[in-house]
Structure 1
């Protein structure tokens, strides 16, 4: 295994070349838990000297349209956590760090170098010079601190319960709960020097800064309110939907968002590789059949996700299908505020009643693996000894009979009109699980909720959801991104009360990389398997489809796919 600092400083570029076959993404085999004390990186070359910029000159003013399975839930990445929102904001906004496409390590973005100070309680960053936001505002240290202080100061009316906020998941609290927050301050040390200060060491802090939630917005736009204004034309659903006008430093400037589409334009003044795409459109197609039809008739140049039902059709018709390495977990959420689910025997019965192999084989892309834990096997902390509760219908009935359950109705929420990278066929997965739970003796009431009409909010807020289908797509290579995000603090999704587990997770996330930290996360995985606050079902493989216009695409297991890196065939324009 390479030294962590060596891995961290590598900054290669990678895209997936065009082939008429099913491909795998850049593997996460090289991804390790990275913790660097210091790193000096040579800044990226000037845009005009890059191969991508040279190629771009041969294909000018290209329009590229990409199909998605749902509208974004909002365009302020600090307040959302869904894939489609991040897909948009990654094009417009950038953070201090990005993800190396080969190693998965933090790599330079708006920061060119960084140094760990005070035994991990502070990090000093040198910022990229001569960068401007899309509105002409200069990017500098003050802009960085304006953003961090904004996130820290979010009021309850803005953040809701904070469950969708990555700031809350990484730092554990906001300013109005400063005693529990791990964020200390942001210090301007010069025009292009800034220091972030923590109250406790976070081993995965640099990795966390690669999250799209920590992208830097223009202070001018924030002050004017253009990044916080609810636009009633964005969606027919006015609840929990923010139509924002993000203003960042990224390769694309935001043009407009409306139901069914988002449009962006290439940033002519971008500091990095400008790429070949002048106009970028994201178009929403809720049904798999409409996505395929749009690809076939040329309305779109690619789409995400591919579902198992249409995978064979795409391959047989000669379309490009690119497959990401698995870095997400699909699970059944159990809400312990519902009295029946506060009984561990009931939760164990639910786990025993679910035939994970049938679900994976029938409703996921081949290669998807069943799982008994939440940490993916390519991350340190995965525990080979955790077997979980195996499928055993008779045991499920026995456990239920010995429990306090008396036939109470259990509302089972599931999303409709959307396919997620971690859940391509939600209605079918729901039907399979509901059938198995009913056979075990549970009284299941279906509650279908359209994804675009507040599904995530419905199942992550206080309410009557007993069971719900959800998933988590990993965003950086640290086990805390999985178990910390889901179980590291009390939340209304699970309503679990386990201070010991929270304490273990808090301790593990601050431990130095090494055998002790690995053992700590393995113990956490074992405890989750024993107490069953949720039932992990699969580590899904996701795939995208592309037309022949695409020569290569920046496929990423963590979905860090920025479209200035898309290469088009020379015959297109």
Structure 2
């Protein structure tokens, strides 16, 4: 994933089993009744890249998720501006059977954009569709489903585990019961994942939604994903002009949030300076991840820079299969001591960013406040390299181009800063730059061609496993190590339903990870969102979970 914040408390609460027993929609409904559709207009958002397609279950990148979130609803959602849970398609949710059964009481009177009803049968259709997905190509694209549910009815792709999902029952029209093979501590927060959005069963069947084909590293999707995405969200799909690089959505008049905008256009402007100029001229009314160095300029133009609290991590990845020397923990420690992260954070990241002490940000339950950041100590780094017999080590260092990420506003600058530090302790760097969607992610995450690489993560939901479990929960080409003890510790923490016990388990796991050091946490950045002076009602999210139903044009 995934990736964002606004003013709120620094520590956001996970809602556990006890707190999930009886959630009322009353407060939500009261606030939404005030959001009438009296204010109209078109909001044009400058996107950094083209969307992948529009079937949420096959998506894994932010530009697409930003659009998907406007068209689809999940059973549970995050309260705007926080990572706290609130009702969406489910007005209440209740766990039982030690967390292996979840009962959802569904919102009444909801229809999909094709006019078909949303009900318990539709919920079960979606979960059964994901579980029974056939084909290696399709399963390999269901990254978030695989991370959460761990396996399929028949594993054909990368998933090898026993599935968490068992079955779904439509108890009545407005009550869906989800049965699991085992409890998972990520629930109920994981039900907010945009990948788990509800799609129209009729549209899925009509437009061959499960058809995914692969040619080399490229994937081709179906008419549902490209032409007929059909959710229940506040905005409906009108068209995707790939030649112009524009996606157009129109208001769903029947949505319970009463969206204010008539239309949203997502306009692709790949160059950041181009997005900045388009905002200044009024051609667009907002874009994401402005460069920290531009905040003052943007504010001087009257633009609103909305800084999100940190809910992410930037890390230097280490592939232990890339170079045998990297299997020595002393070498990995040397790399960590050799990076001046304090200087990097001060000079390259936005106000409020901090040096990372571990792979979980402070706002997440399970953060271990006893862990200290590895200090900058180049002499110690050189000593460790000597002890490991790794002086003069040459490493292939991959970094992405043509992308801006919430945890990495400028990949080239990040690469330069870190590589210069490593050169200073005697590491020889072979730089390899590749386009984000043109080879970088595949080379790094699927093929493990690198020795070092830059990546990061913005939390999808408020759970430590969404960070450390996603990174280090099993053997992956990205990191190239096999540590059954660590894998088991992460699995046990993930299966702990009691939130206090889960917090302790993840705190222990975070120390274990930092002792083993499979990668190096660099920083907790604070990315921003910028909108023009006429834009009202935009609420920045710690999860990059901005939903535009509350936006209007003043």
TM (norm. structure 2) is 0.91
1:260 Cα deviation from its structure 2 partner: 6.4
2:8 aligned to which of 17, 27, 33: 27
Aligned equivalent of 1:83: 62
Please tell me whether residue 41 in structure 1 is matched to residue 31 in structure 2: no
Aligned equivalent of 1:166: 144
Give the Cα–Cα distance (whole angstroms) in 2 for the partners of residues 498 and 231 of structure 1: 33
Contact kept? 1:46, 1:271, Cα under 8 Å = no
1:247 aligned to which of 226, 230, 236: 230
Matched residue of 2:154: which SS? helix
Give the Cα–Cα distance (whole angstroms) in 1 for the partners of residues 357 and 380 of structure 2: 17
Please tell me whether residue 556 in structure 1 is matched to residue 541 in structure 2: yes
Aligned equivalent of 1:323: 307
1:373 Cα deviation from its structure 2 partner: 0.3
Superposed, 1:341-360 pairs within 5 Å as 341-360=326-345
Aligned equivalent of 1:183: 165
Superposed, 1:72-471 pairs within 5 Å as 72-101=51-80, 104-155=83-134, 157-159=136-138, 161=140, 165-177=143-155, 180-225=162-207, 227=209, 239-240=218-219, 242=221, 244-245=226-227, 246-257=229-240, 258=242, 261-338=245-322, 339-405=324-390, 407=392, 409-471=394-456
Q: How far does the alpha carbon of each residue in 1:168-195 deviate from its partner, in whole angstroms, 9 at most, with x for none? A: 1112222224862222221221222111
1:316 Cα deviation from its structure 2 partner: 2.3
Per the alignment, do residues 289 and 133 of structure 1 end up closer, same or farther by CA in structure 2, a change over 3 Å counting? same
Contact kept? 1:26, 1:557, Cα under 8 Å = no
Give the Cα–Cα distance (whole angstroms) in 2 for the partners of residues 500 and 49 of structure 1: 48
Please tell me whether residue 506 in structure 1 is matched to residue 491 in structure 2: yes
Contact kept? 1:28, 1:104, Cα under 8 Å = no
Matched residue of 1:277: which SS? coil
Q: Identify which range, 256-265 or 104-113, moves more after superposition.
A: 256-265
Matched residue of 1:281: which SS? strand
Give the Cα–Cα distance (whole angstroms) in 2 for the partners of residues 409 and 361 of structure 1: 28
Aligned residue pair count: 538
Give the Cα–Cα distance (whole angstroms) in 1 for the partners of residues 284 and 525 of structure 2: 25
TM (norm. structure 1) is 0.88
1:568 Cα deviation from its structure 2 partner: 2.5
Q: Alpha carbon RMSD of aligned pairs, Å?
A: 2.6
Matched residue of 1:39: which SS? coil
Give the Cα–Cα distance (whole angstroms) in 2 for the partners of residues 533 and 280 of structure 1: 42
1:161 Cα deviation from its structure 2 partner: 4.4
Give the Cα–Cα distance (whole angstroms) in 1 for the partners of residues 139 and 428 of structure 2: 32
Per the alignment, do residues 231 and 133 of structure 1 end up closer, same or farther by CA in structure 2, a change over 3 Å counting? farther
Contact kept? 1:352, 1:389, Cα under 8 Å = yes
Per the alignment, do residues 30 and 313 of structure 1 end up closer, same or farther by CA in structure 2, a change over 3 Å counting? same
Contact kept? 2:217, 2:442, Cα under 8 Å = no
Per the alignment, do residues 230 and 166 of structure 1 end up closer, same or farther by CA in structure 2, a change over 3 Å counting? closer
Matched residue of 1:112: which SS? strand
Contact kept? 1:47, 1:271, Cα under 8 Å = no
Per the alignment, do residues 464 and 239 of structure 1 end up closer, same or farther by CA in structure 2, a change over 3 Å counting? same
Aligned equivalent of 1:483: 468
Aligned equivalent of 1:11: none
Contact kept? 2:355, 2:373, Cα under 8 Å = no
* Unpaired runs of at least 5, structure 1: 1-22
Contact kept? 1:26, 1:101, Cα under 8 Å = no
Contact kept? 1:266, 1:274, Cα under 8 Å = no
Contact kept? 2:81, 2:541, Cα under 8 Å = no
